[in-house]
């Protein structure tokens, strides 16, 4: 799929896969600051990991807020990674981008890819459910039912690619970083796998996490309990428009 190069409202030129999706992500990340933890400030992060980076807008946001930070991004999607590489070269030139899925084990896996909705791609795609959720959100946003049906269906044409997988601990080691001040995880239902791939000895190197959690079969409670056991204070948030969905953002900060 061909990439698109356009200018964001903040004046930054960015390579995109889908313009509508990039506009939505820009609003969520730069305008609403969805990955910004509510509450008091933390020390400025020097090392940031962006797991499930898509085209790199979160990495760009973090770089704009913390210019001295070393940012490591992981993205398995084929087109999204090509865009991520270009955006890193332009806006995060001292960072590291890897074309991998971060999960519970090193190896390879089948990755479900939506070329017209790449941010919804993942290791655990459920085409019918994801199409239905898109239809629901479009209708609630004022799109006529017939148009919402067409848009949701056309944007969720699924294909599969093979991708490399590695654990977070291996990514940490390969990056050369000795710590992870902030870890952002947004991996479309694979968040528990990412967390399972953090070795016991590496938990002490992590200061803060922000995790998109799909609350399937009690996963939200399980992940938050694990994070508390690992020494973090945990806060759960949910966007108003997602109140009837299983999507949550969990912020975990190491207790002091």
Q: For residue 41, is pLDDT > 60? A: no
Enclosing H/E stretch for 219: helix 219-229
Measured CA to CA in angstroms, residue 9 lies from 12, 38, 67 at distances of 7, 24, 20
For residues 118 and 77, is the Cβ–Cβ distance under 8 A?
Answer: yes
Mean pLDDT for 131-158 is 91
pLDDT in tens, 77-118: 999 999 999 999 999 999 999 999 999 999 999 999 999 999
pLDDT in tens, 180-200: 999 999 999 999 999 999 999
pLDDT for position 163: 98
For residues 160 and 113, is the Cβ–Cβ distance under 8 A?
Answer: yes
- Give the span between the Cα atoms of 67 and 62, in whole angstroms: 8
Domain-by-domain residue ranges, the chain? 4-106+167-254
Pick 167 or 137 by higher pLDDT.
167
Helix, strand, or coil here: 197?
Answer: coil
Pick 93 or 239 by higher pLDDT.
93
Enclosing H/E stretch for 211: strand 208-214
Mean pLDDT for 123-131 is 95
pLDDT in tens, 153-174: 999 999 999 999 999 999 999 9
Confidence of residue 40 (pLDDT cuts 50, 70, 90): low
Confidence of residue 233 (pLDDT cuts 50, 70, 90): very high
pLDDT for position 228: 98
Architecture of the domain spanning 4-106+167-254? 3-Layer(aba) Sandwich (3.40)
CA atoms within 13 A on the CB side of 160: 9
């Amino acid at each position: 799929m061909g990439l698109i190069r356009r200018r964001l409202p903040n004046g930054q030129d960015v390579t995109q896969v889908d313009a509508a999706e990039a506009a939505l992500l820009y609003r969520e990340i730069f305008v609403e600051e969805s990955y910004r933890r509510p509450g008091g400030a933390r020390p400025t992060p020097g090392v940031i990991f962006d797991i499930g980076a898509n085209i790199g807008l979160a990495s760009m946001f973090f770089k704009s807020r913390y210019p001295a930070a070393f940012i490591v991004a992981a993205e398995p999607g084929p087109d999204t990674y090509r865009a991520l590489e270009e955006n890193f070269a332009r806006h995060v030139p001292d960072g590291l981008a890897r074309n991998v899925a971060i999960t519970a084990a090193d190896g390879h896996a089948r990755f479900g890819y939506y070329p017209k909705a790449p941010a919804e791609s993942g290791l655990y795609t459920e085409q019918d459910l994801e199409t239905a959720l898109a239809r629901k959100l479009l209708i609630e946003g004022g799109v006529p039912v017939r148009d919402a049906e067409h848009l949701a269906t056309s944007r969720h044409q699924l294909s599969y690619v093979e991708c490399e997988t590695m654990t977070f601990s291996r990514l940490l080691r390969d990056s050369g970083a000795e710590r992870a001040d902030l870890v952002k995880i947004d991996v479309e239902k694979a968040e528990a796998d990412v967390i399972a791939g953090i070795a016991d000895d590496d938990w002490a190197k992590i200061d803060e996490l922000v995790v998109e959690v799909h609350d399937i079969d009690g996963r939200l409670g399980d992940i938050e309990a694990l994070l508390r056991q690992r020494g973090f204070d945990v806060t759960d948030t949910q966007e108003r428009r997602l109140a009837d969905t299983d999507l949550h953002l969990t912020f975990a900060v190491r207790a002091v």
